């Protein structure tokens, strides 16, 4: 039997699946059901100092197949009401509060309030692309200095591990990760949704009530894989200190989870996929991961975690392996062109010489024309 347990920031997770912030709203009943159905770790809806009602609808649309755009507006009851019902664990599953502050000072006060609840860790939402309404102001996680200030504010108020939730809407995500870790973060969660907008061709206006939203779902998985890879490689080559990565972005089954683990993630969020497969996705995806591991011959997750990064670290193209199919597009792309036979080589050389003679004659002709 494959061992899929994960050690994350002092928490022993039964598997690497994570419920990302905001997916099941504010319902404690839904969070409890996800815990019972086998999720490894729960992250709450982002909590603010004061209650937020959220934006007017539409708040979620499927803009392209496999691509959801949402602009919820971080609806939540506020920290005072949240504190009345929060539990550090549900059915043995760690529950991590997500924090969002409109300023450094507000985030510091919020963190103090949450710290009194004795959470196993906190996640700091630095990267919601629509938290500021329809404005296009810079996100905290798009600026290293702002990132460090916000994480530092939380670090000054709590001793529990801090998870910095980063945005994909940056050029060099590892620079933002470096600022977060330097300021006191213990782990990185990446990535939040991609900034997105959809237009109604009939009414000639944005579809979402907030106009601007964030895109998630299977359509963004290759993009999320690339961003997580950037962070992992920076840790491997020493540009970043080593820290756990919680990967978010389009995973919807056990093999998707394996893909993120192969690029160095410690745990993997299943978010938009919950809308398609319900909370059963956590136990089902864990079983799918176990099947994948058994087929590959892996006894536990450390046996293959980060293995795909070897392809990107080597200066030479690694051997693909005996298991690669002969008609693989990747193998065909990497294979050198077949060497010509000796007869073909001689014919080619003769043709090259004839072409060269013709070029010389044309050059001579051009010089005569020029003189005339």
CA atoms within 13 A on the CB side of 264: 27
Segment 298-318 mean pLDDT:
87
Q: Do 261 and 362 share a domain, yes or no?
A: no
Q: Do 99 and 217 share a domain, yes or no?
A: yes
* 321 in any annotated domain: no
Neighbour count for residue 296 (Cβ, 10 Å): 13
* 318 in any annotated domain: no
Question: CA-to-CA distance for 118 and 141, rounded, in angstroms?
Answer: 26
* Higher-confidence position of 317 and 209: 209
pLDDT at 328 over 60: no
Q: Which of 284, 273, 281, 221 is nearest to 247 (CA)?
A: 221
Residue with the two structure tokens 């209650």: 51
Q: Which of 92-96, 224-228, 274-278 has the lowest mean pLDDT?
A: 274-278
Q: Which of 98, 131, 82 is nearest to 21 (CA)?
A: 98
Q: Do 96 and 223 share a domain, yes or no?
A: yes
Share of the chain above pLDDT 70, in %: 82
Buried b (16+ CB within 10 A) or exposed e, 42-80: bbbbbbbbeebeebeebbebebeebbbbbbbbbbbbebe
pLDDT in tens, 45-72: 999 999 999 999 999 999 999 999 999 9
pLDDT in tens, 1-49: 899 999 999 999 999 999 999 888 667 888 999 999 999 999 999 999 9
Q: Do 218 and 251 share a domain, yes or no?
A: yes
Q: Do 229 and 345 share a domain, yes or no?
A: no
Q: Which of 91, 39, 66, 70 is nearest to 279 (CA)?
A: 39
* 329 in any annotated domain: no
Cβ neighbours for 277, distance < 8 A, ≥ 6 positions apart? 252, 284
pLDDT of residue 320: 53
| Average pLDDT across the chain, whole number | 87
Question: CA-to-CA distance for 282 and 279, rounded, in angstroms?
Answer: 6
pLDDT of residue 364: 47
**Threshold 0.75, pTM exceeds:** yes
Segment 78-106 mean pLDDT:
96
Helix residue ranges, H only, 25-64: 28-36
**Catalytic residue list:** 128
Task: Give Rg (Cα) of the chain.
Answer: 26
Q: Do 270 and 215 share a domain, yes or no?
A: yes
* 216 in any annotated domain: yes
Q: Do 117 and 218 share a domain, yes or no?
A: yes
Question: CA-to-CA distance for 176 and 151, rounded, in angstroms?
Answer: 11
Q: Do 370 and 289 share a domain, yes or no?
A: no
* 331 in any annotated domain: no
Q: Do 86 and 216 share a domain, yes or no?
A: yes
pLDDT at 325 over 80: no
Q: Do 283 and 239 share a domain, yes or no?
A: yes
Segment 95-113 mean pLDDT:
97
Strands 205-206 and 11-13: unpaired
* 79 in any annotated domain: yes
Count of structural domains, the chain: 2
User: 163 with 129: CB under 8 angstroms?
Assistant: no
DSSP letters for 264-332: T-SEEE--THHHHH-TTHHHHHHHHHHHHHHHHT-SBGGGTTTGGGHHHH-SSPPP--TTS-TT-HHHH
* 183 in any annotated domain: yes
Q: Which of 263, 294, 261, 276 is nearest to 40 (CA)?
A: 261
pLDDT in tens, 144-176: 999 999 999 999 999 999 999 999 999 999 999
* 283 in any annotated domain: yes
pLDDT of residue 319: 56
Domain span at residue 79 reads 6-313
pLDDT of residue 27: 73
Q: Do 307 and 343 share a domain, yes or no?
A: no
pLDDT in tens, 337-367: 344 455 544 555 555 555 545 544 444 444 4
pLDDT at 270 over 60: yes
């Amino acid at each position: 039997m494959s061992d899929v347990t994960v050690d994350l920031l002092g928490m022993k997770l039964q598997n690497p699946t994570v419920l990302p912030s905001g997916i099941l709203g504010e319902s404690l009943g839904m969070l409890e059901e996800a815990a019972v159905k086998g999720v490894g770790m729960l992250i709450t809806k982002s909590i603010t100092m004061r209650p937020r009602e959220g934006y007017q609808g539409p708040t979620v649309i499927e803009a392209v197949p496999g691509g959801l755009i949402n602009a919820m507006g971080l609806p939540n009851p506020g920290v005072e009401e949240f504190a009345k019902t929060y539990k550090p664990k549900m059915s043995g599953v760690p529950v991590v509060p997500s924090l969002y502050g409109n300023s450094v000072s507000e985030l510091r006060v919020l963190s103090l309030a949450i710290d009194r609840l004795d959470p196993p860790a906190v996640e700091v939402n630095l990267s919601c692309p629509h938290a500021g309404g329809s404005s296009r102001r810079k996100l905290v996680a798009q600026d290293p200095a702002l990132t460090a200030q916000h994480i530092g504010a939380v670090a000054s108020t709590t001793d529990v591990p801090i998870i910095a939730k980063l945005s994909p809407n940056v050029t060099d995500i590892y620079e933002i990760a470096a600022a977060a870790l330097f300021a006191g973060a213990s782990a990185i969660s990446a990535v939040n949704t991609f900034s997105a907008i959809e237009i109604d061709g009939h009414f000639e206006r944005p579809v979402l009530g907030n106009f601007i939203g964030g895109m998630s779902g299977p359509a963004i998985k290759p993009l999320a894989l690339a961003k997580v890879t950037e962070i992992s490689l920076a840790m491997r080559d020493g540009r970043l200190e080593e820290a756990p990565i919680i990967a978010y972005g389009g995973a919807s089954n056990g093999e998707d989870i394996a893909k993120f683990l192969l690029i160095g993630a410690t745990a993997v969020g299943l978010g938009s996929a919950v809308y398609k497969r319900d909370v059963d996705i956590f136990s089902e995806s864990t079983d799918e991961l176990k099947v994948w591991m058994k087929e590959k011959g892996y006894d536990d997750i450390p046996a293959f975690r980060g293995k795909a990064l070897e392809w990107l670290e080597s200066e030479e193209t690694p051997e693909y392996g005996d298991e690669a199919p002969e008609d693989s597009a990747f193998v065909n792309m990497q294979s050198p062109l077949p060497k010509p036979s000796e007869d073909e080589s001689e014919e080619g050389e003769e043709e090259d010489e004839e072409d060269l003679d013709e070029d010389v004659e044309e050059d001579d002709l051009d010089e005569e024309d020029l003189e005339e």
